[in-house]
Structures are given as C-alpha cells and as structure tokens.
Structure 1
Amino acid sequence: MTSPDTCPRLSVALVSEHASPLAVLGGVDAGGQNVHVARLAGALADRGHRVTVYTRRDSAEPPDEVVLRPGVRVRHVPAGPPRHVPKDALLPYMPAFGDFLAAQWRDRAPDVVHSHFWMSGLAALRATRELGLPLAHTYHALGTVKRRHQRDSDTSPRSRVTDETAVGEGCHRVIATCRDEVTELGRMGITASKIDVVPCGVDTARFTPDGPAADHGTRRPLLLQLGRLVPRKGAEVSIAALARLPEAQLVIAGGPPADRTDQDPEIRRLRGLARAAGVADRVSFTGGVRCEDVPQLLRAADVVLCPADYEPFGIVPLEAMACGTPVVATAVGGQLDTVSDPDCGRLVPPRDPAALARAVGELLRDGAVRAACGAAGRRRVLARYGWEQVAAGTEAVYLGVLSPRPAAVTEVV
C-alpha cells in the first residue's frame, strides 16, 4: 500500500443514498452503513483526500451542504420528498439522484466515485457512465441473502437482485467487506477477478477499554444488544436466551428516540415476548443511541450479543472487541471473519437461544476467560480493523481503478 505522503491527493465522492453519516444510530434504516461511510470519509481525509458524501435529503431543515469535519463535506441531494422515506421505497427517486450527481460533476468531477448500497450504485452508475468517471462499489448487504432469509417478509423492490447484478457488472471494482460476500457475489455471476476485500473498521481511539461506562443501575451481569431494531437482528433470540440466564440483565439499545419507545411496534412485540418468557423485569430498552454514547454502553457490558439471522458484516462486534468486551455472535456473514472463537468470544448458530445462553453462561461464569477474550479482541481490532488500515486498503482500490492493474481477487486488509 502507498503511504499518505506518497499517494496523490484525490477528490473522492462517496454516494450513500439512504445512510447519512449525520444520522442517529439505531433507527430502522440507520446502522452500520452510516458508521462506515462517516468513518471511511474521515479516514480518507486524514490521508489527505478531499471527500464529499452525497446522501438523500430526508428533511427540509439541514442546509444543502454540511461540513462533517475538515476535509469532509456532506451534500444533501434533492431526490424525492424532503422527509424520511423507508429505504425500500427509494428506488423511484434514484434517476433524479443520478441526474443531480451528473449535473454537479460536469463542471467539477471527482477523481473517483465510491457508491454504498445497491440503490446508490444505480444512481452513481447513471452519472459515471455519462461522464466517464471511475466507479467502485460496496454493497453492504445483498438482496440474494436478504431474500433467502426473509422470504415473503422481504420488502425490497422486485428488481433488486437484477439491479445489484447490473451495478456489479457496470462498476470498475467491487469492494466486498468479508470473504463470505465474495462467495455470494460469485453466485450472482460477478467475476471474482473484479473483487477486492476490504473490511469495515472501527475507531480505535474512541472505542477503547479505558473511559467511562454507562450506569444501568444494576449489579446483575449485564448483557447488551446494540443496533437497528429490526427482527433479523435477533433481539427475540436474546430475550429467549435470557430466560436461561437467571442472574443476568439485558439492555437492548436501538430503535426510535427514548421518548417514543412505548409507541414502537417492534419494542412492543419484544416486550410481549419478554413478559411471556418471564423476564420482563430484566430487559430494558434505551431507544436510539447517539454515536458518542456507544463506547460507554459497550464498556458497561459483561458480554455483547450479536445474534442476527444474517449479518453482511457487523460493526458492533468490532466496536465491542475494541472496548475489550467479549462477544457472542452468530456464525454468519462478516462475523465469521471478525469474531475469532474462542479467542475473542464465541460463535453460535443463528436462531438458537439455547446455544446463545450456553455460550454467554460460560463467559459469565469465568471472569478470567472474559478478561482474556476482551484483551484478545482488542489486539485483533488493532491488528486488522483500524480505520487507518481500512482507508489505506480502500485507497489502494481507488488507485487501481485509476491505473488499471492485472485483475485478481485481493484481500487488501
């Protein structure tokens, strides 16, 4: 990889149609992709690049352009109504999004465009084809995987898989975030020679074992599940496992703002499951969490639970490991790469409360094992998943797009 001192300074356009780097985490459409785009933008700026993030305007309030930090601007794109629209309903607005990008770039084109999520890829492909600009693409999640797991409950547009394939075929490079994704892309017909693997990352200066920990007012062993509050994330599995862990307390962080948790359908459903399992007094819901509050939540936990049915990558395990907190996660997607079992935590089958409870119980019973897992997790993150490393790997892909090289699947980080 090139060093920041020898790499040419690039103008980089990150396209993230629904996942704004300014969003509060934990909402139904606000999670790992928001974090990834924000941190990648910042890390690229630290390497001397000028970054603009293009995201759809979903409110009339913010200005057209916001400076996120030195070297990073967020540009709100007028595509569709200036209010929240569920991401699965955004497809009709992607032509307008792409046309806006093309209009912006005709006079001042970026050196490279990097789209995030398939609809961003459609918009970016529309603009880059017209202007002849290089395009890299990160999927973050694949329609084929979602359809396989959610079946009739999948609300994605019918054309998603076809459109995702078109983006993969039309862009110059695909940046996969884990090895499992390379396999899935191959099943879609995306040639392996077009794929680089660069994982998501974590801010190792913010997510550390040292610092304040949240006070949840309990002396019980504390379990934490953090992230978007949607069924596939497996909160109901955590609640069912809690019934087998009579000494533990479970905090579920994510969802709507704290003052609206009582009205949220998913939280009401989960509370009903907790009552039926006899653990309602040991489960609490914080609502959506501000980025700056996440590290202290993770430090307060004895074990972090990541029991998703499927997980394209999974930022939360990395953040927990960076904070020195052991993780019990399902053996799916990116978690197969990030959570080293038994060194940093445990991997269990999805939708298996008994297996989840056994793994958590083993960690709760032995403080020395928990401490060892936490320390190993921190070392693993520092060795592989710091944003400086991820940005360097992403930069290498950009330079390869700008100066074509012999094609081969590479794991950049």
Structure 2
Amino acid sequence: MAPNPAHTALWPAPHASEAVDATVHVPGSKSVTNRALVLAALASEPGWLRRPLRSRDTLLMAEALRAMGVEIEETVSSSSTGGAGNPERAGEAWRVLPDGLRGPATVDVGNAGTVMRFLPPLAALADGPVRFDGDPRSYERPLNGVIDALRVLGARIDDDGRGSLPMTVHGGGALDGGPVEIDASSSSQFVSALLLSGPRFNQGVEVRHIGSSLPSLPHIRMTVDMLRAVGAQVDTPESGGEPNVWRVTPGALLGRDLTIEPDLSNAQPFLAAALVTGGRVLIPDWPARTTQPGDRLREIFTEMGGCCELADYGLVLTGSGSIHGIDVDLGDVGELTPGIAAVAALADSPSTLRGVSHLRLHETDRLAALTKEINELGGDVTETADGLHIRPRRLHGGIFHTYDDHRMATAGAIIGLAVEGVQIENVATTAKTMPDFPELWTGMLGA
C-alpha cells in the first residue's frame, strides 16, 4: 500500500521576519470536550456541548459513543457570537441524547488516549460486546491499569493477556463497582476513566493509586470538577480524603448545557511565537479559573522572558526579545513539554525539564523524539532519567519528523519561526487536536 501523501509531505515551517502581533482564536479543549461527551452519554437526560472541539480525537469519541447507542446531533447557529474556537464555527453545538449503551459495537480509538481509556468502563455498562481497536501505535500504549481494574470491579474483558489493544469488553448492562487499587503512574487517565463512569456503577467506585508519583494531576482535578458539575458526589484527597484515594457515590447524572473552554495547551505554540519573536499575541476568552494544565503557561513563559496579562477579554503575552533557560518540574503538565523544549532550544541559557518520564509512553516516546529532532537541527539535548537537559546552540534548517504526534509538529513550527529552512514532516497530524493549525499559524504571521 502506498503511504498516505499527508504523512510524507514536508511543510515549510514559516520563518518570522518580524515580531508577531496577532489575535488567535484557539479551538475548544480536547480534554474538556471528550470528558463532557462521556458524562453526557451517561446522563439521565439530554445535554448540550457548545463550541466543542472538532478534531480527530473528539470525532473518534463521538463516533464511538454513537456506535454504542448514544445519539449526538450537530448544529451550527449563525446567530451565535463569541470566539472561543474558529469564528466560523462559533455557534456550533452538539446535543447528546443518551438512550442506553448497547452492543455489539466496534470502537476505533485511533491513537487517542482518552478514547481508549475512558470508554472501556462505559462498554462494561453496555448491553452486549464492544470491540476496541486502533492505530498501530495504540497497541503499544499502556491500558493494563483500566483493564485490570475493570476486572476487579466485575467486568469481563478479552485481551489475550496483553494488557493493551485490541480487546473486547463484554458488557452486561451493569457493573458492581466498589473499591479497586491501580498503579496509574504511567497515566492519570487510568484514574479519570474509572471516576467518569463511577456514578453508574452499582456501588460507585473507590480508586486507590498505589504506584509511584502520579502524573498530570490537573487532569484528574478536571475530571472531578466536571463530575461535580453534573451532580456527582466525589471525595478527593484535596477535600479531606485519604491521599491518593478518590471515591464516587452511585447516582444519576444531570444533563447540562456546557460551553467548552479554549484549549490552553493548544494555545502554547502561539504564545511561544510572541516569546520567540519578541512580539505580542492575544488569546481571547482565556478563563480566569480553570483546571486545564495549559494555564501554567502563564507562569512558565513569564519565567522564560515573557510578560503575561490576563484580562476579561483574554490573555496577552508579550515577548521581551530575550528567552531565558528554565529549570522546571513538568510532572503535572507533561503535555507542555515539547513546546517548552522548542523554546528552550532557542534560549540564552541551558534548561532542565524534569518529572516527565511518563512521556515515553505518549503518542510517541516524546523524550527520545525531541532529543533526536532538535539535535539533528544542530541542537544539544540529552535525555535524563525523568526529562531533558537542553543546551542552546545555533540551529540550522532540516527535516523535523513528527512521529504522528501533534505536539511534535507544533514544536517544530516554533523552532521554524527563528530558524530558516525547517520542514515539518506530516504537519497534518495536528488534526488530532487542532485541525486548522497550519492556517492559524500562517494567519498569525500575516500570511
């Protein structure tokens, strides 16, 4: 079979000849959209998602839920205003009509961690078997935390002992639930997956993390906040519970009318552009309060030389013309690592990025990929046990490979702003979370 041309084409990363001055409307959050879809599918009444992200990962989630018997109607209203996402789609809304979860069904997870981990607990509640399959890389991503936990809670799963895809969940229409111990040190999504469906388990669920440090805690806080917003009772370590223990009480979930926040992690390359070019970028509708990990960009990019101003209309980042190295623990915000590494490669002093050993299990081994690609442009990056050490060097043009990883593609684009001749292999992979990235990027530069 011939390779997909989109996967082999080289995209010349635009080089910035002057400081950027732009307003960029960032599409909705993937993390919020996919959690909202799951909760709406489990609700006892219809719900609305407004300004949802339309990307490969969210469309995979929607199609998977449809396959399991959930009706999702898509509408676009020309009268709606606002700009959290693409202005042309600002009035888009999805109406979710839960009508029981059914099998037999087949779910394509692509390479979406939220789909492959959040939906097996729903499948255990379905009336019939649900088969899960996906991209070749999805077979390599850990799923044992969810599989083993569901078996303890009463589910029957055929995975041929792999602890990974492909697999079949034999839904029995209900699940006992109760207490379960898991090691979620490779992905906080193992915890979120069980919490999201926990209200529908007969006994609810008590999830106890027994492994080493837990990555991406803000994503678990996002899950808890969204559960509480639809009426679930959740006890957490932060609310006075035991450390590393989350409890969800069984009960009905409410249908809500939810407007999806802009994806703050996807705002990263645009904010980085202001830092790299000494320019100014406004991201409209940046929330004053959020559980999204991307909100930490305000702190990190300020330390690296930028100036952030959060106002009612959004976030403005202004670059100073200088980029400083940083020593930072990114354990809670690992998804920001590729973009921060790209900026650090252009800094005036070394950087150490720590706490992100779990990135070796993401869409690709992000630590190895960043090291290889930046070094092949003349950089000096070394892997550590739990991260990267980056010594800035004068970089040159070349091909920046993405490994079908959207955040690798945007990292290469950031470097391309300052380094002429950078070509991104398979920029189309950004469609995983940001389908219009090339157009947004060139539009930011005034092209």
* TM-score (normalised: structure 1): 0.33
Greater percentage in helix = 1
